[in-house]
Amino acid sequence: MASEKKLINKISRLQDELDKKNRILSSIYKINHKLNRSGNPDQLLKTILEESRKIFGFTRAIILFLNKAENKLETKYCIGFTPEEEAFSMSHPLDMDKHICLETLTVKTNKTIYIRDIHAYARGADIESKMADRWKRVSNISAPLRINREVIGSIGGDRTHEEMILSRSDIRLFTYFANLIDIILENARLHEQNKKKMGQFISLQDLSQKTSSTLDYEDLLEIVADNAGKLVHGSSCALMIPDGEGKHFRIAASRGYERINADLIKIPAGQSICGFVAATGHPMLVEDTNLEAGYVAILPGVRSQLYTPLVSNKRVLGVIRVDSDGKQVFSSDDQEILTIFASHTSALVENALLYEQILEQRNLAQNILESAPNGILTIDKNKMLRMINRKAEEILKVKRRHILDHNISDFLPGKIMEMLDDTMDHDKDYPYEEITRTAGDGSVQIYGVTSAVLHGPQGNMTGAIITLQDLTEIKKTEAMLWRTEKLSSLGQMSASIAHEIRNPLASINFNAQLLSKKITGDPYTRQILDDTLEGINRIKTVMQRTLDYTKELNTSLRHGQIDSVLSDAVALVLQKLKDRRITLDVKFAGDVPPLLLDTHQLQQVFVNLLLNAAEAMPDGGTIAIRGKKEEGAEPGKAGRSFLVAIQDSGVGIAEDNIKRIFDPFFTTKEEGTGLGLSIVHKILEQHRATIDVKSLEKHGTIFYLHFPLAGTGE
């Protein structure tokens, strides 16, 4: 009977053990199912504790993980605890050195420990009785949790009101359960790791698109700084760029550095981690900044870091620095994913730098072209305009928006086109040609033109370049100087001749007058003598005007109103104009500024021009006089001179004569001396003023008088 009873008890124990194993297997299946469905670590730990509680009849169950950086055992999840107990357990980790309790011993020894009566055991063993009182438990069992044979924490359960009686078989089963949990946790870790990697690779793909979408260097650095830290879940990130000499690193872009003035930060390359990474070209994982001699503190509270160099063509362009407030936060996987990101980004940064250099060179070339004193145009081989600078627009009086990508024959003068055709058809450069163009309004423009063929890398012709220099004003100045010298020479010669003629002419005049008195009865002879005396008087008048012309003008410039001087001049000739059926139309735009002028001399100028205009209109007509401030030649500088334009509707001046009208003694009038306009020109010179003329035969003449404004220094 006794042996039969033993057999029955053994069978019962085996059946009980088998039932527990079945429950364990069922629990493992349930836990794995939970892992495969959600993959949520917290849900997984909760399920593990719930199943362990069901299998072994625990009052409470707990999982603790080892924090190696802090050397503390921290509660990760627990069930069966009161809210107060749970809060205390979560907020009070166990110090592996200071707290001697079942959980810390389990982790230290890597063994399952079961205590049936915790208080009795504490009195005879090296376990803190305070720890036993704190947990308020009677019995307890704890088994280590391992990943790759390394202890990462413990799982345990207890009873608080009665002893928990476990056989050796039960203890083996709990250890077996813990070992199965090890496998599940490893799978969960790998699952979480793969999930994290997958998320990082997806983020990396998105980042690749973001960074590839810009060639702007500054924008690219901002994108890198904004996303590198997020990629590995860092708390802050900085992109460190070496200075020109490579002695220091500056923060080119950052996130999480708002508490400091990042622009003032300079990290010496020397022995710093940043300098080491840049020098070696290898990434570096810093688990604890307190243990790194080369760590340079920028932000307070940083405990771990990732450094990854940006390397392109064996040249380090910068270093990505990612920070975290916790120790041992980053893993080798984080380092790997950041290195992949840095490798992709490096080429883009290199491209952005090259693009920036190209832009700088292009902008420099553009500024040089736009600031060039000569007009510059480039065309392709089809003679379509590809570039025109500001000066060329000004010279040709065109706007680039209207002519770019148009055939240049639409706006270039024919002579320049002929020159350009020769250049492109015969691959012939023109070092310099002067070309004259008459505008629609009758004005003449003179260009200095050069043209040259543009060649591609293979030596083939790709187009041509044209340079234009507006020589109109230069030629006018040269003509004015030549005319001034000519007038001076003519004046001196005329004065010399007048002096030589004066004495003989006085004798001739005296003798003619004497003969005129003695001859009274011969009408024919009387007429001859009268004609002689009239001719002598005319010679005397010309001589006097010549002498007056050659005299130095005694010009006295004072501030005055040019419109008043003109009014006085008009009053002097008004009756003559009316007699010739000529009307006046005088208009001055805006307020007339005071000018430095000699009232008497300037009145003489206006009288002379008005009388000339009247003589050009034998059948009557209109003289229009306009006055206005002129815009300056320099951008933004207005009112440099005052313009008076005198226009008649007379017979006009022949084109061949226009260049000679200011020459002394040149006249087309039968009774003219040819000195009137020469004197006008001389008086205006004394006023530092200029005079231009435009005229078309049978369409009238316009004289333009340009007076410098007082205070312009002209």
For the stretch 335-356, pLDDT in tens is 887 888 777 777 777 777 787 8
Backbone angles phi, psi at 302, to 5 degrees: -75, 130
- Asked whether 641 and 706 are in contact (CB, 8 A), the reply is yes
**Is pLDDT above 90 for 150?**
no
Q: Can you tell me the distance from the alpha carbon of 203 to that of 565, in angstroms, rounded to the nearest whole number?
A: 83
Domains of the chain, start order: 13-194 (3.30.450.40), 214-361 (3.30.450.40), 372-470 (3.30.450.20), 475-550 (1.10.287), 558-708 (3.30.565.10)
In angstroms, what CA-CA distances link 623 with 68, 574, 577, 583, 645?
Answer: 105, 12, 10, 6, 10
List pLDDT tens digits, range 177-207. 788 777 777 766 666 666 666 665 655 566 5
Q: At what angle do helices 676-686 and 472-518 cross, to 10 degrees?
A: 130
pTM for the predicted model, two decimal places: 0.46
Which residue's entry shows tokens 């990943």?
Answer: 147
Backbone angles phi, psi at 558, to 5 degrees: -135, 160
Token digits for 70?
A: 């802090």
Token digits for 607?
A: 């009288």
pLDDT attached to residue 587:
92
Residue whose C-alpha is closest to residue 597's, from 683, 672, 657, 662: 683
- Asked whether 285 and 333 are in contact (CB, 8 A), the reply is no
Backbone angles phi, psi at 470, to 5 degrees: -80, 105
Average pLDDT, the chain: 80
Polymer length of the chain: 714
Q: Is 468 helix (H, G, I), strand (E, B) or coil?
A: strand
Residue whose C-alpha is closest to residue 221's, from 245, 242, 240, 246: 240
Backbone angles phi, psi at 428, to 5 degrees: -120, 125
- Asked whether 659 and 649 are in contact (CB, 8 A), the reply is no
Q: Can you tell me the distance from the alpha carbon of 323 to that of 12, in angstroms, rounded to the nearest whole number?
A: 60
Residue whose C-alpha is closest to residue 84's, from 15, 120, 135: 135
Which residue's entry shows tokens 């080892």?
Answer: 66
The residue-averaged pLDDT of 196-225 equals 68
**Angle made by CA atoms 330, 332, 333, in degrees to the nearest 5:** 90
> From the CB of residue 649, how many other CB atoms can be counted at a distance below 10 Å?
19
Which of 6-20, 142-156, 670-684 is most confident? Answer: 142-156
List pLDDT tens digits, range 633-669. 443 334 478 999 999 999 888 888 888 787 776 677 7
Type of residue at 478? E
Q: Where are the beta strands (DSSP E) in 439-577?
A: 444-455, 461-470, 558-560
Which are the contacts of 363, defined by CB distance < 8 A and separation ≥ 6?
none
pLDDT attached to residue 333:
82
% of the chain at pLDDT higher than 90: 11
In angstroms, what CA-CA distances link 258 with 238, 241, 569?
Answer: 11, 18, 77
Q: Can you tell me the distance from the alpha carbon of 543 to that of 494, in angstroms, rounded to the nearest whole number?
A: 8
DSSP string, 546-597: HHHHHSPP----EEE-HHHHHHHHHHHHHHHHHHTTEEEEEEE-SPPPPEEE
List pLDDT tens digits, range 296-331. 888 888 889 899 898 888 888 888 889 998 888 888
Beta strands 690-696 and 315-324: pairing type? unpaired
Residue 714 confidence class, pLDDT cut points 50, 70, 90: very low
Query: In the 8-state DSSP scheme, what is residue 138?
Result: S
pLDDT attached to residue 635:
38
pLDDT attached to residue 713:
44
List pLDDT tens digits, range 576-625. 899 999 999 999 988 889 999 999 989 989 998 999 899 989 899 999 99
Token digits for 311?
A: 């390397």
Q: Is 343 helix (H, G, I), strand (E, B) or coil?
A: helix
pLDDT attached to residue 35:
46
